[in-house]
Chains A and B, each alone.
Chain A
Amino acid sequence: DSGVTQTPKHLITATGQRVTLRCSPRSGDLSVYWYQQSLDQGLQFLIQYYNGEERAKGNILERFSAQQFPDLHSELNLSSLELGDSALYFCASSKTGDSNQPQHFGDGTRLSIL
């Protein structure tokens, strides 16, 4: 158990819909990272939040957005969903805002678009 909690574990929805994925970081960690992993692909960095503020942005589509709340949990919002958005979405957390720290991953949310 990494201490990072992601909900839901599975999500099935249709094209055009909007979903919200949730992540609670490990106790004491201030940064949250979001990654997308398509089938048999690598980890694509989407976005990082540190202590409530956006810290770094990767290959995140305009249809996607995220935020981190005062209790440090984070939500990733995906809208106007397309078939290609089907993937595993991982959240990871680390202690500080610097990227050169160990990251601890949650178990992921598997998103399936029908």
Chain B
Amino acid sequence: GENVEQHPSTLSVQEGDSAVIKCTYSDSASNYFPWYKQELGKRPQLIIDIRSNVGEKKDQRIAVTLNKTAKHFSLHITETQPEDSAVYFCAASSASKIIFGSGTRLSIRP
């Protein structure tokens, strides 16, 4: 069946450095790719999303890139800050289904 693979499962970066999380999807019908941030004990929050007719989208320190041919999409966080520490989930969805990746636990070292 369709799935979404997310890597790495854990990531530790120095404050101020960049972090990159990668996802690969298998369903060719996927055309919407959201990213959610979940802080400890809290609800997932949508931080950025991209549609399949766009290759890149930026929102301040966060950017997402999409390679439809390779079925890859990535989250880039620049100038990381302590408040970026959280679990990040990618997802790939079509009109009929959404599949989440398994999550990446991002830790920011002071």
Contact = CB atoms under 8 A, between A and B. Distances in A.
Interface residues of A, number: 20
Contacts of B45: 2, 105
B34 A102 contact: yes
A104 B34 CA distance: 11
A96 to B, nearest CB: 9
Give the contact-size bracket for chain B: 20 to 34
Binding site of A, secondary structure by majority: helix, strand, loop or mixed? loop
A51 interface: no
A25 interface: no
Contact of B95 (A92, A99, A107): A99
B94 interface: yes
Interface string B91-109: 0011111111111000000
A98 B43 contact: no
B54 interface: no
Interface in A64-114: 90, 92, 98-108
B101 A102 contact: no
Given A42-B89, A42-B100, A99 B43 contact: no
A99 B103 contact: no
Interface of B: 30-32, 34, 36, 42-46, 49, 51, 89, 93-103
Interface of A: 2, 33, 41-43, 45, 56, 90, 92, 98-108
